[in-house]
Structure 1
Amino acid sequence: MKYYFKKFAKQKIQSESDGFVWLLYFVYCSLIDVDLNGGEIWENLKRRIKEFNLDKRTPIRVKNVSAFLLRNLGSDASATFNYQVSKIKTLQVKDFRGFGSQFNGDDKGVCIEFNSNNTIFYGPNGSGKSSLCDALEFKLTGQVRESARRNRRVSEYVKRIGSTSNPSLSISFVNPAIDGEKLTEDEKKYYSQAFIEKNRIQEFSLFGSKDTGIKKEEVLSILIGMDDLSNLVKSFVQPTSFKTNLLSFKRSDIANRIASLNAANVSNTTLKKEHEDSIRIEKAKADKLLLKTDATISDLEAELVKIDEAIKATNADTLSLSTTAIQFHSKQDFETAIQILEGNLQRFDELTSALNDAKTNVSFSNLYTAILELQSTVTDVCPSCDTPLENTTKNPFSKANEELVKLQGIKELEAEFNAHKTLVEQNLKSLEHLHNQLNFNTTKITALTGLIASGTALHTASPEYSLTNRPQIDTTVASIKSQLATISSYFTEVATLHERQSQKQIAINANNAKVSALNDRKRSIESIKTNWENTQTKLDAVNLALGTYTTDLSNLYNEKNIEDNYNSFIELLITSYSNFYTQLQEFKDKEFQTRFGKLESEIAGFYTQINKHDAEHEIVESFKIDNSNSDYKIEFKVKGSSLTEDASIKLSEGHLRSLGLSILLANAKINSLPFIIFDDVVNAIDSDHRANIIEMMVNDTYLNSVQQIVSTHDRLYWERFSLENQRGNFSSYILKCTKQGVVHYHYNLSFRDKIQNALNHFDIRQALLYSRIWFETIAKQYCMENNIELSGTLKKSEFHVSIEPSLGAIYRELFNKLGDNENLKVLHKDEINYKGINQEHHSFDEYNFNFIHSRTSNEVQKIFDAVSGLDDDIQFLKSHQLLLAELLKSQKHSVEKLKTLNTRMPIEIQNGIINRHNEILNQLSEFPARMQNLRIDAALIKSTQEKISKVFLGGLLSALMKSKGIA
């Protein structure tokens, strides 16, 4: 997209308004954002405008923007681009799509060398054709169309599955001046037109169909490589939508803050009066409480200190007055308690005796209860003997009633006893309490200690005062009663201490009241102080706000100017956008029309060659592409007719595919592309037209002059193409995808050249592959020519089932025949090379390259040299007699050459003749030993030695005769 936008910007930047230039700036930045972070142009454009800080721009900001764009776009808007065009020389690929991951440290990936005229790659689906074309596209354009078609990021699409390494690609051109690593955006856009893909042709065959949902403009733009321009224009919204979006960017934050500041100023004025009134009220309270005028917070704090000191002193005085409280009682209290107790005990004893006497009558109590129950029963017989009442002497019920009166007194006596028992127990508790008080006083109060004689009843702790031990009570009471007369001094001291204690309590109560009053005063002062301080804090904040109001308002108005400038800037962009949008649309239409005008003159020529066998009435004379009224239409005229027809309606799907290919070829021609890359194009063309396409690719003036890189999975097409080009200069490769990645076989090229070429480019895996195939080829050929039986395994290939001999079986036979062969020993004895070239079970085949031991190119070179030497040895076995004859013939020729030597000859020519002669003699001298090493029949060796000896003997005689001057 940047290519077309740059072109558009160069045309407009010097002549359009400030707002227009600003839009160019924002769009350019948004395109960069899309490249770096992805996303849509429109979303990045909105973000750029919304976050734009206009305040940081100088007053000449528009000129600065123009300068920025001119630096990035190039100042001359009318300048044409001058490309350095060149054909492709090599492509080296590693960790890219189907191309393999790192083989070892020396491996730089698969290196593919392209013929300067035609290069064709054949392979079935999945062999790596698309990976190859994608690699070329990625290196030449920086993009891969298929990734966009599949809605994937390019970085994700190109990475090899399972690889942790990033893709590595390098490309070289026939023209060494072009650096494949430093292609410009313009060059990338230019080279993007060199790719002709089956997908684009197939899409074009549905041109105008509503089923696809794809507009004609989109189909055509994709076909001729102008989809970037189409997508660029589609990225921009209608002016009304642009206006709606940008109006929402207008800023009102500063205006709102000014309104808020003014409102706050009015509010603060009111609050100031309220706070000042509140403080006056608190000051009046303080004056009244402190009994002074103009009291301050410091005065309140000083008064609080005085109150705290007074409370502390009063509490200390109260603490000094507090002593252990005396338990006050008098002698009279004891005497009264004993007197009451004795009286109640006497009555308790009487009741106890009376109840004991009536124990025999306890049963009558139960009888009394039973009789009462019987009286409620109506009966005519005696309840005791069942005698009828009319026959008894006296009615038993009447007799019982008379006795009940006597029994009722027992119940009443028992009730009185229980009540008196409770009273006695209470008297005992009272005496026990007095005893415990006396015991407390004599043990806790120092002044009373020792006033009670030890060993007396009152000296010890209070005994158990309980009726359960009735005799003990009398003893205890009698002891206390008699002791009371002896402890008058105790009671006198208790009375004195009690009086003194009463006076202290009055003082303590007074102190408590004083502290309470002080705390009340303290709380009042603290409340005044807290309210005063809080209100003063609020007043200070209000005064600060009122004091900075003018400055804050001035600062906000300065910011408001910036905000207003930004909003005016938004209005400027909105106003300029309609013109920007219209001119961009016009630019697109003009670009398309210009391209169409150039294409129209070339399309028919290619279309006619592809459809050369069409009937006379189907031969197309011309094509015209019309994009008026935004409705893209391709019209054509047939030969001899003046009528124009709509191609999308009249042409068949096959003819539409041919037309699509013709448009792509015409586009390449008008742009003078130095090479064209056909990505499985014939798959999109029916088989009837493929022969015509091959003929066109060979004979068309333009296509014959450019470099054609073709991939196909059609074996027949590959063979036809190779056959048609065999008279010229071309290369043919077979692609195959393996576990380690895509590999290629150079068709019709010697193994020696293939391997050496791979080693020159550090393509170690390819070199190993060819070494293994070469070794297997020469070994199998040797076994077949010598009728050697081999064991093998049935294998199924793409086309047939065959017996595949194992490398182990082949090697064993070679070892039997050539056991002393040095090259075979190298391959066998050198563990690294042997494992690299001769693993069993075809560990090294086209589908699995397990050369973990061959880590460097030097080690692979050893394998190459050993296989090359073995090939020479086997060729020697087959043709040693012919080789000997050739050597003897060459020796004879060299002798004749020696005879022509003279001093007038240049020294280098003389040396050349002599060196050649010596070289032939060395080969002849080594010839028998080589035959012996290869186990050739002894009779043949002897015959050879005799022939060679004659040559040496003849040479010796000639030399002797020459030295003696004999002619």
Structure 2
Amino acid sequence: MSIVLKEYERFITWLVGQAPDDDVKRLANIISQKLHELIPVGTASRKRSKILAPFATDLWGQTSIELDVHEAAHPADERQWTRLYQLQVGPFRGFKLKETFELQKQITLIYGANGAGKSSLCEALELSLLGEVSEADAKRIQGDAYFRNAWAGTYARPSLTALGTDGRPVPVPPNEEEYRFCFVEKNRIDAFSRLASRTPAEKTKLIATLFGIDQFAEFVRGFSDDLDPQLDLTGAKSQQLAIARLALRTAEESVAGEVAGEAAYRGEEQAICAMFPEPISYDALRAFIGSPEKPGKLEDIRKTLEEPLLPTVGVTQADLNSALHALSTNDKGLLGKQEKLASRSSEVSFQQLFTAVEALQEQMPDRCPACDTPLYGDHVVLHDPYAKASDGLTSLAELAKLQDEIKSFEGSLSSAATVLSTLLTKISANLQAAGIQIPQLGQISQRWWEAMGPADGAVWSKILEVASTIEQQDEQAAMDQLSRTAFAEERVCLEEIDRLILALEGRKNAWKDELNAAHQLIAKFEVDNQELILEVEQERPTVELQHRIKRAYDSLIPMLRRYLGDLPGTLLADLGETTKDLYNAFNREDRQEDQLAQLCLPTAPEGKIELAFCGSPLVRRDALHILSEGHIRCLGLALLVAKNIKQSCPVLIFDDAVNAIDDDHRDGIWRTLFEDDWLDGKQVILTCHGQEFIKTIQQGLGAERVKNDCAYYELLPHDGDHHPLVDTQPPTKNYVLSAQEYLARQNNRDALSQSRRALESLSKQLWKWISKLAPDPIKLTYRAPGAKPELRNLCEQLKSILAKPQLVHARKEQLLAALTQLLGINGASPEWAYLNSGTHEDDRYEFDRGTVRGIVDALAEIDMALR
């Protein structure tokens, strides 16, 4: 939140130069007073407008029109210290306990495993130098909650001291204006590298993120385009009077249209009467249809249709006679077939016998199934039983047909009996009323229908009489249904007419009421509104104030947005050349034609970052379209470092930022930061989670510079107490310095082991050093195609090239003497044997300390000569 406050202060300073009117100044000051309430809310549901409008109304009269100009800081005049001295941090964020970091050396390198506290350390520096932490505001964590260590449950504000002009430690007062560009963060580099895939508006956001103004940008975007819905621009009384006058005007128009209204309603009445089948007047039609007070034809029809329908049975004399006839016919047919079958009953036994014999043929194909006599052989049956059974079944086929016919008659008789029983059941209630008892449906063999007597008996005649009565009732029900259909059609017509009449009468009554009210309003308006007219005059100053607020808002917000739009250009101003040179230094291993010849930074949000390569210096290209992601990251880093240089910041702090760059560019980056003169006089604090990169930097700095100008810390994950392990004196990563330290502790073997590594590193550096010095490319001889140069062979060839007279340098003899010390004159020096033996465990003998010292000193001479 304080970041937004600082940037808003700078906006106020900018606003003075725009010469705004007094009301714009007053509104700008009101926003400044209520900034803490306005920042958390944005345009959603116009929340910011809803709280800003009351603030402006209440504070308008008591707010000054004088803008508080924020004077830019002058580092050379205001900073009362020369170099950071010490940081005490904890409990704070990831630090549960208090830790002290000595920062007085020019370079402080901090290795930290992921989650070991690197960011917490950088945030402690940020809080000390700026007075706030941008990440806390970005995450909208208010108060001390962001800084509190979760395990300690509290936090202590970090203590940062620096060396004053008198050489004594003094507290460092926070100054956001002066130190805001001291920090280079990994997250900003990552966000900048994604610019290429974003829209112009999003690119503006990411540029804001790169320079730490993203929260201010979000704050500016939180203002609505206008404040009108939250302002009373008409006045409640004025609006009331305007509505009253509008009602009066409407009343006058109503009175003027009275005659035309009556004619229109008469036309509607005639149209409704035309829907009736006979000529009739409108009043007669209303009386004919009726109303709830005086029911008419429509109510009579509704009552008739609500009466229950006459029941329909659906049984006739013809149906009964047909069913009885079908029953009798099938009964006679069945009896005839059964008698015929009975006359041939003896044959039925033979049929069953033959069927049974034939069924046993598969089980006993060679013997008689009755007597077990063989069918073939010496003693056989007189007749083949299976052949006889087959012949017998063939002769009895007519008997089988007769049996099938009996089954068919039985089914038909059952169906006919069911039909007759169903018909009788339908009229059972009527039959019982006539004293006729019908038998229940049973099996065919029970011959239940015979209980009703013969077909021409008295019972059947009574049944037919009942059926005749039912037929007459069904005819009456059918006639009733037809009449109801006609009534229903008439009801539909009358209901539609009734609906239209009701709607018309409703509108006529409302029109008449409106007309009467209009006559009354016209007569009473001036008398009734005398007090309201006076109140309108009294509220006029309040309404004018609301209009002043609206005009001020409509002027101020575009200015605020224009300031935000110009901010990236302001931040990037005059950084082009420095950024280009830094970028080329970062990418020093690229081909010459791929180096930058021009770099044009945008001056507006929609502008592009354009560049021209040395291979085609007159052709400008969009940097975000043509550069790889790794090169875009280098460009972002170059911009931030260039801004740090331009602002003359005393310190440059990398929060894991270099790890955001791919491996191909890290060599150029560390050389630019620590070998070139870009950061001369600045302190550099660099955190990193790559030990190899730390080692590369310490090797590149050289033993003397690491010893005198470089502090090194290692942060390791906690061992169970949730406090990172802080090693304040970890082993140096510089091989020469490490060899010197081992030698001082009488550890000859480890001194030689580190010396061997030092020579491997220094020989590569010497190779590059000679390459820059030599007028022609250096050519080295390898023992075999594709083989890497052996260390001794490489050193001998480098010594040979260095000894050539055309190579001239002030430190040439120093290097030659050191190489000679290591290689020997005749190639048989003990030094080289020591360098080999010191790295092998199988060579177990004591080393001459003087020889070891000579090796270490020679390496120190080479290391010093290369700086």
Largest Rg, 1 or 2: 1
TM-score by length of 1: 0.41
TM-score by length of 2: 0.46
